[in-house]
Structure 1
Amino acid sequence: MSRPNRRPQSSPDLEGSELEGLLSELRSRLQLASKEAQRQWELMEERLLDLERSDAQRGGVREAASDVAVSVARVFRDLVQRHAPDTGFFRAPVHDAMRTRVYVCSPEDTLARAAQVMWEKDLGCLPVCGPGRRPIAMLTDRDISMAAFMQWKHLAEASVESAMSHSIFTCSPDDELAQAEEIMRRQQVRRLPVVDEQGVLVGLLSLGDVARYVHQRSSYSNGTPAQQRLAETLAAICEPRFHSIPPPPPPAP
């Protein structure tokens, strides 16, 4: 079950303020921090924003409270800069790392056809698209396996609609990788369809795509050897194992 998003929302009055800039930088850096550190920061961020937004404060008292909020955020930022790696890669746009050639299926397709595409292209999932190539769900290889077990049907007799997920999370090609990574983390998914302003599918971003993007650039960064090794390992795991192998023949009826 996904964890609810508890991040406090900043008010329009904070847009462009020093505090909002500090908070934005901290959110980006904390992507690679521990879950406990992220949880503690969420609590602190909520308190800082409460101080900054408080209408009960007046004059010098309110100004002093605002100064305290900014000062605490500065101290926390300096602490994170010392102990958390720079996440410059994650500020890159999604379109720099996403794949643009995306294989899809429709709700009316059979699971046999979807499984064949996954086998031939070495894929773990397919976006399920409605009219206009707009994604409405995701279908994974695990969904197909569970449908075969639960429905007790041949895959050629079962539809994609009977097995596909009933929720979908997407991102924009102009979103930062940090935003897409946070959606994956909070919703516990490994792949995100990338859609344009009209909701049309324009790409797909997976954890493997992010790992490859980081690994290709890690040799030019100041990341630690352990961080570079981790990116290299994840990128290698996610590499396609083969290009195209014909699927096994279907069982005789």
Structure 2
Amino acid sequence: MKILSWNVNGIRAVEKRGFIGWVRQESPDVLCLQETKAHPDQLSPELKGPVDTDGKVYRSYWASARKKGYSGTAIYSKTEPLDIKPLGVPEFDDEGRVLQADFKDFVLICAYFPNSQDAGARLDYKLGFCAAMLECCNKLVASGRHLVLCGDYNIAHTPIDLARPKENEGNAGYLPEERAWMDTFTAAGYADTFRDQHPGETGHYSWWSYRMSARERNVGWRLDYHCVDRAFMPRIANSIIRPDVQGSDHCPVQIEVT
């Protein structure tokens, strides 16, 4: 199963940059999107149900923010999940930040973690979301389920996960409290699939500022992840970042589940 996750920074914007053709070409089994910034009734038929190369229409599921043009997540899937639902916490569901899809062998969680913003203006909200997400994951594992938590975490975990760690100390996404939560999360039995397969490797990023030709110079941050419960890690055949894919300030991240 090929699973892709991408913060598209506006689904309608990325549609104009060849998104539908890209989905057809990539043909993922499941595609998770973050920062869709739209409600389903604002979308074209092609966005609601892209068509695969074999003519099969993807099923699509949406979690939209109450505020128009803000946040939001979506899942495209070739097969219908056994169940699909939001996180179940109103303060986060009101911003459309989570979709959970049950795929029999595991639960796939598509998540758009909040940005803690300048001077940590939303840090408490961010940490509340992180705590709720860890509780959700722990409950699933305790019930005997495997899980894949993918999306834009808005956290660069370690110094090798951003190009300029020293210059960004104290900035949103690299705050001590955010990095400490990632420590807590991984210590609780969850694996960062990319880092597990590429330990110590530098220069791998999934987000670049639009300013100062940051992407061309690869001055970026690794903010997008696929994490799994440690017991599920042997099923992850490949975990990669796709900087070749344009259209957003983020690029997709990809795993293959055997």
TM-score normalised by L of structure 2: 0.23
Which structure is higher in strand share?
A: 2
Which structure is higher in helix share?
A: 1
Q: Find the structure with the greater CA-based Rg.
A: 1
